[in-house]
Every structure is written in C-alpha cells, then in structure tokens.
Chain A
Amino acid sequence: MKDMLLQVEPLIPALRRYARALVRDRANADDLVQDCLERAVSRWYQRRDGAVRAWLFTILHNLAINQFRQSASRGRHVPIDETNEDSFGEAAVQEQKLMYQDVLNKLAKLPEDQRAVLLLVAVEDLSYADAATVLNIPVGTVMSRLSRARERLQQEIEGAADDTPKNVVPIRSVKNEPPADHGR
C-alpha cells in the first residue's frame, strides 16, 4: 500500500482538475475523484501495467461518463459559476479571471467527447496513446476528435469576438450586477 500512496497521491490534483473541467461543479467533481480513489485502492493489485496515470484517468473518466449518462436522463446539469464568490480589488486580476471563466464557458459548449480529448491531451499532458487508452478509442480517433475540438473551440472564441463587450468591458459593473452572459 505504500507504493500506492507514493504513486497515486501526487496525481490527485490533476485528477481533480480533470474532473472539475469535465463536470464543472466542484462538489460533484470531488465526489467523482473520491470514488475514483476508492476504486483505485480496492483494485490496486488488478491493474495491468505500470502506467498508473493512464489507469487512474481511465477510472475517473468512466465514472464521469456514467454520471453524464445518468444526469442526461434526468435533465441538464446547470454549471455553477464561481467567479463572483470573492472580488479581487485589482482590475487586471479581475479581467484575467473573467478571461479564464470565459474560455471555460466556451469549452463547456463542446461535445463531451471532444472536451475530454482536449483536456487529457492539452491540459493533462497525456500522450495520444494514453488518451486513447483512457477513452477506449483508437489513436486515430483521438487525433480527429482533438482536431475537431480545437477547431470548434476556436470558432467559439472568434465568434465571441463580435460581442466581446459582454464579457470584457463592464469590469467595473461586475460587482454590482450579475454578469449578463451567465444567465443563459
């Protein structure tokens, strides 16, 4: 169990990040990670090879997908917006936060399979082969989904360029009124 602690513990922050980016809601994402860790502990001796990272992401991803399926039948999950919980005084920090929130909102519009590939490859630094293992698809499919995900996200970003004022300009009014674009 000691080697498990040494190998798994350092990966928990990345698992949280992936879960949160995938399902967006903090409590929900952490529940998934907890579930993932419990399974990893009970199946530690059943894993097939040395690639602990890909193995953990596989468990987590499958849990998330199951949850997506369940919630899809119950109706759409509404993401929680956390940017306005606390307000930093500096406008620059605030603006950066909005920019980050904005790209995450756009990411959320991607189909879930494209989002997963993009997150695993571009954020979690999994190799294309490991991403294929996690998603249980051929590497060629990873590449085509990655390509579609990037094109689509780019469209979202460029499409939004026309109505940027919505997200970027009213920095000063953010504290006083709810941001207009989260109510959709």
Chain B
Amino acid sequence: MNHRPITEDDLHAYVDRVLEPERQAEVAAYLGDHPDVAKRVAAFTDQRDLLRAALAPIAEEPLPPELNLSRIIENRARRPSVARWAMAAMFLLSIGGLGGWAMRGALQASPEGLVALAREATASYNVYTPDRVRPVEVRASDSAQLVQWVSDRLHRPVKVPDLAASGYRLMGGRLVATQHGPAAMFMYDDDHGSRLVVLTRPMSSADQNAPMTSQSQGDVGGIAWADDGVGYSLVGHAAPESLRPIANEVRKQARAI
C-alpha cells in the first residue's frame, strides 16, 4: 500500500475533524502505531473540547438590547448617513463655488434625453469594462442584492436583463452617477471575454418615450431607447447594428416587468 506521509497539518485537521473519511482513517491508523504522537493529538483534542465547553455559555447568554439587529437596521434607516451629508455638502459647493460651470453648461445646451443617456453609457463602458480588478461593484452571485440596491436608488423596480440567449453572462453591476441622477449599470461578458454594458435610469423631462437610436464613438457602438420614462442604453465593442438583436431582447424583457 502506498500511503501519503502523515503531515502536521493532517494531525490538526484530524483534531478539528475536517479530514476526508479516508484520510481520517489513515491518520487514526498512524496514531495507533505511534503512541507518542497519539498522546499529543489526544491532548490537543482535550484542549479543543475544553475551550469549546468553557466558551459555550457566552453564546447562550440572552442578547442585550444594543445587539438587537432589527433595531440597528431601523436606527440606521432613520438617521441621515454620512454619505447623504457629504452629498448635500457637495451640492451646496456646486451651487456656490462652481456656479460658473452650470452657466457654461446652460449656454452650451448640455445634452438631454437619449443623447445624454447614450453618452453616459459609453462613458461607463469606457471606464469600467477595461477594469481587470473590479469591473463591477456587486457580482452576479449577489444579483438579488444588486437588484434591491439599484431599485432602491432609482425608486422603481429594476430587472437585470438576461442575455444568455445571446451568449452573454451577467458579471454584475453597480450604481453610476450621471448628470441626471443615479443609473444602474449591468455588465456582461461572453466566452471570448468581450464585454457589454446596459445602463438604465429614469429619463428627465426629455425623451420619456423614444425609439431605438444607434450611436457610435470610435469602435464603441451603442443603442439607446426609452419606454415609459425609463431610458436604456446598450453599449459594446461592436457596430450598433450587430447589437440590435440584443437590444431587442433587453427591451422585450424590460417591458415584461
């Protein structure tokens, strides 16, 4: 018989009962042949049992009121968060010190409606898809949280489009800042690693309903549209026309909410 040699790690894993049954039996057989080691392992096992017994009563104690999780959640919901204060401060700053920028924007007729949405989506695509470390803030494995988060922030139910039929899997998503408020961004990739982005947010006054419009900026193409006050923009490294079937799929699913 060819046994793998027993390691110190095996002995600890034996004490902690985390070995596979087969290995557990091998270690037990080894201990049978080596009484000195067996004595040490038995001592470690006794330690473990004693520590667990000594600390068990703490976990049995009734929880004090300040560890009541429902209350902690409630309190948090009631008090304005630091982030909200920070946003308010930024807003005041922008009214005061940066008033000039707003004026300039107005004179230049800043883009509204679908044009603005398409630009925001392209900007998000350009910033986040090349990111190898953290392209998304919340991963697909937590998509339930992602949906709840962006739905809360957009004040409407947001559904993550399923693009599996087109060969694209959801990687995850994040909330992104736009000039027209928060938007939800979802990112997808396919087997070749090419990535797509879907950006959605409520439309401001302009373009509450708008048909699909394509745009491109270099090699990056996109299609944007709006349905019942909600805008969508799909952006990828492709000609807009090749994105159209996927855009159709996104629109079909969004209308089914």
Residues of A within 8 A of B (CB): 1, 3-5, 8-9, 12-14, 16-17, 20-21, 30, 33-34, 37-38, 41-42, 44-50, 99-101, 103-104, 107, 118-119, 121-123, 127-128, 143, 146-147, 150, 153-154, 157
- Please name all residues of chain B whose beta carbon is closer than 8 Å to the beta carbon of A4 when the two chains form the complex: 73
Q: Give the number of residues in B that approach A within 8 Å (Cβ atoms).
A: 43
State the 6 A-B residue pairs at the shortest beta-carbon distance, nearest first: A100-B54, A13-B59, A17-B58, A122-B48, A17-B59, A45-B149
- Please name all residues of chain A whose beta carbon is closer than 8 Å to the beta carbon of B64 when the two chains form the complex: 30
In the complex, the chain B residue whose C-beta lies closest to that of A42 is B76
- Are A20 and B58 within 8 A (Cβ)? yes
- Pick from B18, B47, B81: contact of A154, CB under 8 Å: B47
- Please name all residues of chain B whose beta carbon is closer than 8 Å to the beta carbon of A3 when the two chains form the complex: 144-145
**Given that A46-B137, A50-B141 are contacting pairs, would A122 and B67 also be in contact in the complex, using a CB cutoff of 8 Å?**
no
CA distance A90 to B73 in the complex (A): 43
- Interface residue ranges of B113-160 to A (CB < 8 Å): 137-139, 141-142, 144-146, 148-149
- Are A48 and B144 within 8 A (Cβ)? no
CA distance A101 to B145 in the complex (A): 43
- Are B67 and A146 within 8 A (Cβ)? no
- Are A34 and B51 within 8 A (Cβ)? no
- Are B43 and A154 within 8 A (Cβ)? yes
CA distance A166 to B142 in the complex (A): 55
- Pick from A14, A37, A100: contact of B59, CB under 8 Å: A14
- Please name all residues of chain B whose beta carbon is closer than 8 Å to the beta carbon of A99 when the two chains form the complex: 50, 54
- Are A150 and B67 within 8 A (Cβ)? no
- Please name all residues of chain B whose beta carbon is closer than 8 Å to the beta carbon of A41 when the two chains form the complex: 69, 72-73, 76
**Extra inter-chain contacts (19) besides given A12-B69, A48-B139, A100-B50, CB under 8 Å:** A5-B73, A13-B63, A16-B59, A16-B63, A17-B58, A41-B69, A41-B73, A45-B138, A45-B148, A50-B141, A50-B142, A103-B47, A103-B54, A104-B54, A122-B47, A122-B51, A123-B52, A143-B12, A150-B44
CA distance A104 to B131 in the complex (A): 48
Tell me whether chain A's interface is mostly helix, strand or loop, or mixed. Answer: helix
- Please name all residues of chain A whose beta carbon is closer than 8 Å to the beta carbon of B145 when the two chains form the complex: 3, 44-45
Q: Which of B69, B70, B76 has the most CB of A within 10 A?
A: B69
Does B8 lie at the interface of the complex (its beta carbon under 8 Å from any beta carbon of A)? yes
Please give the distance in Å from B148's CB to the nearest CB on chain A. 8
- Are B16 and A38 within 8 A (Cβ)? no
CA distance A143 to B58 in the complex (A): 26
- Please name all residues of chain B whose beta carbon is closer than 8 Å to the beta carbon of A50 when the two chains form the complex: 141-142
- Please name all residues of chain B whose beta carbon is closer than 8 Å to the beta carbon of A17 when the two chains form the complex: 55-56, 58-59
- Please name all residues of chain B whose beta carbon is closer than 8 Å to the beta carbon of A147 when the two chains form the complex: 8, 12
In the complex, the chain A residue whose C-beta lies closest to that of B75 is A38
Please give the distance in Å from B47's CB to the nearest CB on chain A. 6
Does B219 lie at the interface of the complex (its beta carbon under 8 Å from any beta carbon of A)? no
CA distance A13 to B68 in the complex (A): 11
Please give the distance in Å from A93's CB to the nearest CB on chain B. 12
- Please name all residues of chain A whose beta carbon is closer than 8 Å to the beta carbon of B8 when the two chains form the complex: 143, 147
**Given that A50-B141, A153-B47 are contacting pairs, would A12 and B58 also be in contact in the complex, using a CB cutoff of 8 Å?**
no
- Pick from B51, B56, B67, B138: contact of A103, CB under 8 Å: B51
- Please name all residues of chain A whose beta carbon is closer than 8 Å to the beta carbon of B33 when the two chains form the complex: none
- Please name all residues of chain A whose beta carbon is closer than 8 Å to the beta carbon of B20 when the two chains form the complex: none
